[in-house]
């Protein structure tokens, strides 16, 4: 029986240990429907009080508003927290997402993030997406300069390929790779988890609950607010969402047999996949925070993990994990 969900895990080979469960901040002040700053603030503070130290944001989230909000709320607690943010993802004049990993952009983005977060150093600074127009060695070289300058402590890559990770790691030790990973998004098992284990790199899994769908938070597209970005996600479109409901029902059944929720099973499953894995589920309410924390008390034995693999993870998934424009800038193997 595994206790991997509750144990602290080392961040790469940095010697720094973080709780297996961190906090994904993207949805706190927008993106997923109605914004409630008072509840978001209370959720952040309760998370820190509960022992969560790893908080993950990005410059692109709500055009910097997310960093400003997170920085302001957590500033009194800053010295005992681990703050991660990202650079290098923007939108062009047509509104399409683009990666920009030019060294000058990285340096200016770091300064802007430091200012918005109200901190003197960023604990973990990621390239949010990989820019094929800039050699990764140049981009990571700029990140290395920021480490030497004391602006950032550790370097990360988000949604990179194994080949890119290997090239980057030769320039500067990469502390973490961040990629979507869940029961219905298992691409990291096609080489990335093994590469991270080999190189001594942590794997930070975002959206372990499939943006709330695997937690059973909604069943139909019309249950989401009109301004909820998930309305643009392929897996939540009419037809796809109905087909994908089978995964949630299977998770609920397993959770019921364990006295757990579907969300807790989804998180515990991700953390049980490899000791290099940490996860940063998104949460914007204290109710969801408390539910997610329950995953740390859930033990999935080998029989349960095998059942999940055969009865849940083997089910077909309808729809891509991102809209086409975002899928187009995912770094892939050459």
Residues in the chain: 334
Tokens representing 100 are 């920009």
How many angstroms from the chain centroid is the CA of residue 177? 10
Rounded CA-CA distance 288/24 in Å is 12
Quickly count: other Cβ atoms within 10 Å of residue 164's Cβ.
23
Strand partners, 279: 21, 205
Supply the DSSP symbol for 226.
T
Q: List, as one string, the DSSP characters of 239-273.
A: THHHHHHHHHHHHHHHHHHHT--HHHHHHHHHHHS
Supply the DSSP symbol for 150.
T
Q: Are strands 17-18 and 9-10 parallel, antiparallel or unpaired?
A: antiparallel
Rounded CA-CA distance 73/82 in Å is 14
**Catalytic residue selected from 61, 126, 181, 206:** 61
Strand partners, 98: 90
Outline where DSSP puts E strands in the chain.
Answer: 9-10, 17-18, 23-24, 54-56, 82-87, 89-91, 97-99, 122-127, 152-158, 174-180, 202-206, 277-279
Rounded CA-CA distance 160/130 in Å is 6
Supply the DSSP symbol for 86.
E
Rounded CA-CA distance 156/125 in Å is 6
206 given a catalytic annotation: no
What is the set of active-site residues? 61
């Amino acid at each position: 029986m595994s206790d991997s969900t509750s144990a602290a895990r080392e961040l790469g080979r940095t010697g720094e240990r973080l709780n297996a469960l961190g906090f994904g901040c993207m949805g706190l002040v927008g993106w997923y429907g109605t914004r409630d700053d008072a509840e978001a603030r209370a959720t952040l503070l309760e998370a820190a009080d509960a022992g969560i130290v790893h908080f993950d944001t990005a410059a692109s989230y709500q055009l910097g508003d997310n960093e400003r909000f997170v920085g302001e709320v957590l500033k009194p607690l800053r010295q005992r927290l681990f703050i991660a943010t990202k650079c290098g993802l923007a939108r062009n004049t047509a509104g399409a997402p683009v990666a920009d990993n030019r060294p000058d952009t990285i340096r200016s983005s770091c300064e802007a993030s430091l200012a918005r977060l109200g901190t003197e150093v960023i604990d973990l600074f990621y390239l949010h997406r990989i820019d094929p127009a800039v050699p990764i060695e140049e981009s990571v070289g700029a990140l290395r300069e920021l480490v030497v300058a004391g602006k950032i402590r550790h370097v990360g890559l988000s949604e990179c390929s194994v080949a890119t990770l290997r090239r980057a790691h030769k320039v500067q030790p990469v502390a973490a790779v961040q990629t979507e990973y869940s029961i219905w998004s298992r691409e990291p098992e096609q080489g990335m988890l093994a590469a991270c284990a080999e190189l001594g790199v942590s794997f930070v899994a975002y959206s372990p609950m499939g943006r709330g769908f695997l937690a059973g938070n909604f069943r139909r597209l019309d249950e989401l607010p009109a301004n909820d970005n998930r309305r643009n996600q392929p897996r939540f479109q009419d037809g796809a969402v109905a087909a994908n409901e089978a995964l949630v029902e299977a998770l609920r059944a397993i959770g019921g047999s364990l006295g757990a929720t579907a969300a807790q099973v989804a998180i515990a499953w991700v953390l049980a996949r490899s000791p290099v894995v940490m996860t940063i589920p998104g949460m914007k309410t204290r109710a969801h925070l408390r539910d997610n924390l329950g995953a740390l008390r859930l033990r999935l034995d080998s029989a349960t993990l095998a059942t999940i693999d055969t009865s849940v993870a083997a089910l077909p998934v309808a729809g891509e994990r991102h809209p086409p424009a975002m899928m187009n800038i995912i770094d892939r193997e050459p």
